[in-house]
């Protein structure tokens, strides 16, 4: 049976800074991993609409549509799409995978996001340093868990690794993984997957095409 493509919604355009990191990247990555066809639709970043709010109560992206079902929250979307694929193990490992996916969002991204906001948005060195220290403490614990194993659950790459590795990208790019070689190796192992490379290239291309369309419209 052929299924309709998933519709993945992201912004029509973003400035340079978040390119490569807009959270649709997680969904693109998973869709590439499971070889599920999808197409991109957009909502405007600069003039947020009631239609957008009706689907995403915080006026954010990503969102997906699968037939009649519209979903928001990247973690929930990943869990939905991973179900029944190699990225979601069975038995007790299913709940372990969900546990680690929630830990990625709530125990790692929570602190790395606070660090990011302090550092890049509020440009508050003291807040960035405080949250950076807490984030590094969590990352050290994560490295302990990964000692002697390649992936978080079931001895194979799962949706929990996909999300964890994406969440580690900004901390890794800004030195928070320095001194954590096993965690760095885990992160590199995940990001070397062709599905991630394709997702990253596609997101960058999407926003470059938006630049070109804007330049043409204003010419």
Q: What are the residues binding ligand GSH (CB under 6 A)?
A: 22-23, 59-62, 73-74
- Least Å distance, CB 62 to ligand GSH, is 6
- Least Å distance, CB 56 to ligand GSH, is 8
- Least Å distance, CB 138 to ligand GSH, is 18
Q: Is the preceding omega at residue 182 within 30 degrees of 0, hence cis? A: no
Other residues' Cβ atoms within 10 Å of the Cβ of residue 13:
17
Nearest residue to ligand GSH by CB is 60
- Least Å distance, CB 59 to ligand GSH, is 5
Closer CB to ligand GSH, residue 77 or residue 180?
A: 77
Rounded alpha-carbon distances, angstroms, from residue 155 to 148, 150, 151: 11, 7, 6
Closer CB to ligand GSH, residue 43 or residue 142?
A: 43
- Least Å distance, CB 210 to ligand GSH, is 15
On the CB side of 192, CA atoms within 13 Å amount to 6
Q: Closest by alpha carbon to 35, among 90, 82, 101?
A: 82
Closer CB to ligand GSH, residue 13 or residue 154?
A: 13
Q: Is 6 helix (H, G, I), strand (E, B) or coil?
A: strand
Using the structure block, give the residue that is written with the tokens 């997957």. Answer: 193
Closer CB to ligand GSH, residue 74 or residue 143?
A: 74
Q: Which two tokens stand for residue 82?
A: 């991973």
Closer CB to ligand GSH, residue 59 or residue 156?
A: 59
């Amino acid at each position: 049976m052929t299924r309709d493509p998933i519709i993945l919604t992201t912004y029509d355009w973003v400035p340079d800074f978040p390119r490569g990191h807009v959270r649709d990247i997680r969904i693109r990555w998973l869709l590439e991993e499971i070889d599920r066809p999808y197409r991109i639709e957009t909502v405007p970043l600069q003039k947020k609409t009631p239609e957008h709010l009706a689907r995403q109560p915080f006026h954010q992206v990503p969102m997906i549509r699968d037939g009649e079902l519209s979903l928001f929250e990247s973690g929930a979307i990943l869990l939905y799409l991973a179900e029944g694929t190699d990225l979601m193990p069975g038995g007790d490992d299913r709940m372990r995978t969900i546990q680690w996916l929630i830990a990625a969002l709530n125990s790692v991204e929570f602190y790395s996001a606070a660090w990011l906001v302090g550092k890049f948005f509020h440009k508050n060195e003291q807040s960035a340093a405080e949250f950076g220290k807490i984030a590094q403490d969590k990352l050290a614990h994560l490295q302990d868990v990964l000692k002697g194993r390649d992936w978080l659950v079931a001895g194979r790459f799962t949706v929990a690794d996909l999300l964890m590795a994406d969440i580690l990208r900004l901390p890794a790019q800004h030195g928070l993984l320095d001194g954590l070689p096993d965690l760095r190796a885990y992160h590199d192992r995940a990001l070397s997957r062709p599905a991630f490379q394709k997702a990253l290239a596609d997101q960058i291309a999407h926003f470059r095409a938006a630049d070109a369309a804007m330049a043409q419209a204003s010419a």
